[in-house]
Amino acid sequence: MGILVKCARHLCLRMNKPFLDYGDTVMYGLECSPSSWIRSHSHWGRHIVDFFLIVTQLGFCCVYFVFLADNFKQVIEAANGTTTNCHNNETVVLMPTMDSRLYMLAFLPFLVLLSFIRNLRILSIFSLLANVTMLVSLVTIYQFILQRIPDPHHLPLVASWKTYPLFFGTAVFAFEGIGVVLPLENKMKNSQKFPCILYLGMTIVTVLYISLGSLGYLQFGAAIKASITLNLPNCWLYQTVKLLYSIGIFFTYALQFYVAAEIMVPVIVSRVPEHCTLLVDLCVRTAMVCITCVLAILIPRLDLVLSLVGSMSSSALALIIPPLLEVTTFYEEGLSPLTIAKDVLISIFGFVGFVVGTYESLCELIFPSHSNTSTNSTSAFI
């Protein structure tokens, strides 16, 4: 992320541009390459970035469908057994309800309507609401998992090495947010302070991921479900937490969808008569939301799809492209051997993760190694 911001600032000055997004930065960076072939095909840099951004953002949207369905399904099934005793994680007799895929269909029209909002200022209000509900939920989850942690000596300390490629894709997917870095920097009153804000924000996110993942594993053990909210007791407090988190995810869907829509919709709308633009705009948005819903319904192991998307697109956006961009952008001005070595190592690391993670995800999707094919994909988000 820091490399991308550095390259974008440099190219803004060189091209006399007030702002460059990720795709423009890559395109202009390739135009600085010493290779004439790369310079003549620099526009492909923008297309590649746009493709990976669309795949990543719509991948998030698929995960959100599963999260909403699973949490609402559990809350409704446990409605008869919900108690006021929040100290014991009692097993209750669940009331059978409709399949989780029907819950996804139930959410579809509401998410379609939400996707019609094209004003980022209005979406920021939803973002604030989502942040508040998620913060309240996180605080409540932390206070539960910190209570009476069982003796961890029987838990495996290290997972099988075969799971590391899937972990790579999941982790990169969870941290990947490089597509919004440049728009955020552009909106800052004092953009020179952005690197400090970036590193502080990512440090907080890292601490949250590691602490919540570790403490959740210690509290619930190997039987932990794919979403930590699904492990909470069936009492009114934690059922409310599930609903609050689901509300936050519901509104966050629009923000994740916004990036993909801003790339795809203008391209299609520009090809139709002016009097049809609004109708086509809404139809394209509806189709995109429906696609994310259909993928969430059809694929039983979305956790693997999440890992696949992380390995394939997120690793390219976050680990492979930025270091190579730095080499092409500053090649003519001279780069130290240490900087070149750093960029090469990061790109190689990303490429190895790209190949191995994608291969393992596809193999697990086609030939599942265990019978639990209903596990959802929200573990990476949580």
The CA distance from 351 to 356, in Å, is 9
- Determine the Cα–Cα distance for residues 174 and 216; give it in Å rounded to an integer: 17
Q: Is residue 118 within 8 Å of 82, Cβ to Cβ?
A: no
Residue-level pLDDT at 342: 94
Q: What is the mean pLDDT, run by run of 10 residues, along the chain of 382 residues?
A: 92 89 91 86 91 88 87 79 60 66 92 88 83 88 87 85 86 82 82 88 91 90 79 82 87 87 91 89 95 86 77 90 92 86 95 92 78 42 36
What phi, psi does 66 have (nearest 5°)? -65, -45
Contact call for residues 8 and 179 (beta carbons, < 8 A): no
HEC per residue, 205-258: HHHHHHHHHHHHHHHHHHHCCCCHHHHCCCEHHHHHHHHHHHHHHHHHHHHHHH
Do 22 and 49 contact (CB within 8 A), yes or no?
yes
> Who's near 353: CB < 8 A, 6+ residues apart?
165, 168, 169, 172, 311, 315, 319
The pLDDT value recorded for residue 378 is 40
